[in-house]
Copies of this chain bind each other. A is one copy, B any other.
Amino acid sequence: MLDLFPLVTTDIALFTLMEGQLRVLLVERANTPCVGAWALPGGVLRPDEDDSLEATAFRVLATKIMVQVPYLEQVITVSGAARDPRGWSISTLFCALLPPEEVPAVAGLKTSRICWANPIDHQLPLAFDHAVLINYALTSLRDKVRRKTLPLHLMPTTFTLTEVQQACEAILGRKLDKGTFRRQIRDNTSLVELPGEWRTGPQRPAQLYTRSGSFRFDA
């Protein structure tokens, strides 16, 4: 059958921040092919229950990873006979952002071993062409941030401006200037100041913000 019809799958690069570091979710493959290798979470399209490939990605995340993500975006579609030993295959890659509240749900997964890997310097043996896919997803994410879209879906519900800056720095892999950063986001309507709410500590308190209800990372 796969000589006439390709295998159609979806893979998801699910990013989050852990201790200020950008991480991508890998799962250990329990089934053939590539048993024991690490891979991006993914699954086969089910035309009978999925409305679209994006729906496939949401279903995979909900059923296999047990998370609901606020942000999913298509990155690229890879294809060919060589990338999967089962034969001619297609995979549409999605990039997803996981808010920190959802991380424990993933960590508690009992069904398979998981790993939050550094997307730039991952040492694990990766299945299929997933090393390339991670690069595609990371490039796409960095381009968004370079175009001044704030990755607020990686933030908790309340956060400080310095924390947003640190998230951008983790994604871009370089330091940003504080004054320049704050100037650029000053008029960003995605950010809503929370009057009277402050992050305290052994220093001057910082104003807390939240995402505006209309914030979309893909805008």
Contact = CB atoms under 8 A, between A and B. Distances in A.
B51 A80 contact: yes
A76 interface: yes
Contact of A1 (B5, B45, B48, B53): B5
How many identical chains are in the complex? 2
A1 B5 CA distance: 10
A6 interface: yes
Nearest to A5: B5
Interface string A26-53: 0000000000000000000101100111
Given A47-B88, A80-B51, A6 B8 contact: yes
A90 B45 CA distance: 11
Interface in A96-123: none
Contacts of A19: none
Contact of A77 (B5, B53, B87): B53
Interface of A: 1-6, 8, 45, 47-48, 51-54, 74, 76-77, 79-81, 87-88, 90, 92
